[in-house]
Structure 1
Amino acid sequence: MKIKKIQTRFGIKEIEMIPWNGKEIPRFVYKYRDWKNEYHKRLLLHQELYLSSPDEFNDPFDCKIPVAYYLLKEDKNLENIFLQQYIEKHYHNLSEQKKKEKFNLLKNKGNYKNNKVIEQINSEIQEYINTTAGIFCASAINDIILMWSHYANAHTGFCVGFDSKKLFNFFTDGGPVNYEKDFPLIKPTESKSEQWMKQIFSKSDIWDYEIEYRLHKQNAPKTVCKIPKETIKKIIIGYKMPQSDMDDLKKIINCELPHVNLYKTEPAKNEYKLETKKI
């Protein structure tokens, strides 16, 4: 098993990695949950995952990176490549002479360089992403204080650890989020798959501490995906979860997920970090 060291704004994290479909993925991925949210409990009660639409994400830039059609105004070489690609895709049956005529016609019109047209095209691309991409977001780590604070109701919730291979096999594709300081540049000449990957898997580096992995299912936004029980391997309890809630959670685990290992977080005594202990 390989250990990968990942640098984040809060230091280096060491992640156990395993092979999957020609890639490397974490051995486990985690989902932070709020015990007070009845829908979050369904992950334990019914093994249901909710697949979000990108329009539900709280980051205003997440999955909303426009294609940089404005570059076609500035770069003549890029413009020529773009037009040639367009003609080969839509007019490949024409003779070479007719293709040249179509090339010149489109270039003279230059509709693709009009600001309103660019805005409309990117609006249509965004609508397509919102209505076709079903996304499940997880993390490669289970001990980040901010994530327990934000996503697990101030440490009163829980965190679910999944067997990554079993989980990833239920999705069309999956992989790590790419964290970048600079706004991603998506060229109009890039393939649709390249554009899609940048749009779905790019985020600002202010989020790099999450070490997020995304799982994607086509044509499944705002839907529920049921997974086998054995996909769930760990449950980690937030250190501030009330005893009554902890008792209820343990009852569910004993009934529905008796194979799962149970842990609890505790603040370290002399460091700004959480420790995870088996119970």
Structure 2
Amino acid sequence: MKNQVIYFGSPLKFNDPYDCALSPSIKNITDDDLEKLKVYLQSNPELERSFKNQYGNDSLASSREMFFRVGKKLIDDKIRDFLKERGVSCFSERKDSLLMWSHYSDHCKGLCLEFSTSNEVFQKIRKVHYQDKIPEIDIVAMFCDEDYDTIINNLYCTKATDWAYEQEWRAIHSEVGTEYGYSSSVLTGVYFGPDMEYVATEIIALILAGQNEHVKLWKGSRSKESFSVEFQQITYTPYLEAQRKGMLKSEDE
């Protein structure tokens, strides 16, 4: 926050073992699918030569197994490379989830940053989708009908239904460990956890005062009506400023 950067960390460190590491199954290849794949190869001479060199002419003519193996290998290689090379930064639609505050903010001692989506990085974020079953990939659509990168990228934004409470969006960078700077105006709010120490709140408020005085500060507390965190807007006035404005009581009072 002080350096005004969004960090793109390695998905290898995510706590969900399936996150960005799915091994999807391949949808059954029908006779019609096989014909479409053959036509696709014939329209891509370089790829066709590669297939012939690896599998021979006979396999190229009729082997469903060949297309299955090639499709699976392409997907697995893409996922492996993604895990090693790409960086991911995660965001949520929610600021009041008790589970989020417990899991990601040192048991409600941390804070939550609110950003405006006007920054470039937020123009490219993708919504995470949640489902019960591991995705099944249609390699005919992947090769012939749809955008290959879109189908693969959807895998990086698919998680188990168990995580649906996060209501997550994520930004993906081509290089892991990247720190992407944002202007001070992009940060619009800071939400302090119910158990954050006052001295930490004070330090953060002083930092923000020197960066963007328009950032709104919110103090969290445990809701008395639901299992959630609720917030009330607060203001922070530094000691010297309060003294100048006569907001402090004198020692004689």
Q: The TM-score by the shorter chain falls in which range?
A: 0.7 to 0.9
Identity of aligned residues (%): 21
Higher radius of gyration, 1 or 2 = 2
In the other structure, the counterpart of 1:152 is: 105
Shift of the alpha carbon at 1:108?
A: 4.6
**Normalising by the residue count of structure 2, what TM-score does the alignment of the two structures yield?**
0.77
The answer for unaligned runs of 5 or more in structure 2 is 50-55, 235-253
Q: Secondary structure at the match of 1:164?
A: coil
Q: Would the alpha carbon gap of residues 120 and 153 (structure 1) be closer, same or farther in structure 2, given more than 3 Å must change? A: same
The answer for unaligned runs of 5 or more in structure 1 is 1-43, 95-101
Q: Would the alpha carbon gap of residues 89 and 194 (structure 1) be closer, same or farther in structure 2, given more than 3 Å must change? A: farther
Q: Secondary structure at the match of 1:235?
A: strand
Q: Secondary structure at the match of 1:214?
A: strand
In the other structure, the counterpart of 1:205 is: 161
AA partner of residue 53 (structure 1) = S
Q: Does 1:124 align with 2:77?
A: yes
List aligned pairs for 1:171-190, cutoff 5 A.
Answer: 173-189=124-140, 190=142
Q: Secondary structure at the match of 1:277?
A: strand
Q: Number of aligned pairs?
A: 223
Shift of the alpha carbon at 1:213?
A: 1.0
Deviations 1:242-274 (A, max 9, x none): 122222222222223322100011112233222
Q: Does 1:241 align with 2:196?
A: yes
2:25 to 65, 68, 80: 68
**Normalising by the residue count of structure 1, what TM-score does the alignment of the two structures yield?**
0.70
Shift of the alpha carbon at 1:212?
A: 0.7
In the other structure, the counterpart of 2:220 is: 265
AA partner of residue 186 (structure 1) = I
Higher strand share: 1
In the other structure, the counterpart of 2:10 is: 53
Deviations 1:127-163 (A, max 9, x none): 2222443321100110000000001110000000000
Q: Secondary structure at the match of 1:270?
A: coil
Q: Secondary structure at the match of 1:71?
A: coil
Contact between 2:90 and 2:171, CA under 8 Å: does it hold in 1? yes
In structure 2, distance between residues paired with 1:200 and 1:145: 25
Q: Would the alpha carbon gap of residues 103 and 71 (structure 1) be closer, same or farther in structure 2, given more than 3 Å must change? A: farther
In structure 2, distance between residues paired with 1:55 and 1:89: 35
CA RMSD of aligned residues (A): 2.8
